Structure 1
Amino acid sequence: MFEAIPVQGEEADPLYRMLANKSEQALKWNFFKYLIDKNGNIVNAYASAVKPTDKALVDDIEKALQL
């Protein structure tokens, strides 16, 4: 990433618009996370408060790696 881009609203970058539409969860704040499987499907979305080491996120990653 080389510059700030809009991630919400009418001016949102197409990637973030697609992620919000497909997951039905718009990015809400910094460090909001989307987990995408190897086939490009959105597995889940996680709030900013969810740490990368949180059990639910780690479990979802491990499950997605087995698919």
Structure 2
Amino acid sequence: MINSVHQFSAENYKGEQVNLADYKGKVLLIVNTASACGLTPQYEGLQAIYDKYHDDGFEILAFPCNQFKEQEKGTNEEIKSFCDLQFNIKFPLFSKLDVNGDNAHPLYKFLKSQAPGIFGTEKIKWNFTKFLINKDGEVVSRYAPITKPSAITRDIENEL
């Protein structure tokens, strides 16, 4: 039975498999991202909370997704370059993946089942939906795309 994000792996932007068990003992924020979205400036807020809490055992895992009005059209390398140039991100960036539908990555199927959205729907509605994961790999909370990273610092602190 799957009960932890630590039971999954995913490709980083270089195409290398990353075992999420490598993050055991860390608090995670998993976010589906896009480079051409009105919410893209949230990268700045994500980097700010990463800088603030990383040394305390906090990681952000960014998963680019092109399922919302094709706002992430680039290659993995182009996405990484954009994130570095525009926002100087230091947190891990993964390969582009699907969060909804038949081809949704198994990690996202798990996240949605553990923390459904409003009215119990599991579907991810837009870019920058965020999932807070505790040190044991369990889903603690799901946050709407419009929720600014700074608005969840108290929840992060509670898990650290």
For residue 4 of structure 1, report the CA deviation from its aligned partner: 2.1
Contact 2:116 2:142 in 1 (8 A): no
Counterpart among 58, 63, 67 of residue 158 in structure 2: 63
Deviation at 1:43, TM superposition (A): 0.8
Q: Distance in 2 between matches of 1:13 and 1:49?
A: 23
| CA RMSD across the alignment | 1.3
Equivalent of 2:125 in 28, 34, 45: 28
Q: Output aligned runs, 1:5-44, within 5 Å.
A: 5-25=97-117, 26=122, 27-44=124-141
Question: How many residues are aligned here?
Answer: 63
SS at match of 1:30: coil
Matched, 1:48 2:115: no
Identity, in percent, stands at 40
Q: Distance in 1 between matches of 2:106 and 2:140?
A: 19
Stretches of structure 2 lacking an aligned partner (at least 5 in a row): 1-11, 14-94
Secondary structure of 2:147's match?
Answer: coil
Work out the CA distance in 1 between the residues paired with 2:128 and 2:107. 16
Q: Secondary structure at the match of 2:155?
A: helix
How far did residue 23 of structure 1 move? 1.2
Moved over 6 A (4+): none
**Computing the radius of gyration over CA atoms, which structure comes out larger, 1 or 2?**
2
How much does 1:63 deviate? 0.7
Higher relative contact order (CA 8 A, sep 6+): 2
TM-score (norm 2): 0.37
Structure 1 stretches lacking a partner, 5+ long: none
Letter of the 2:129 partner, please give it. F
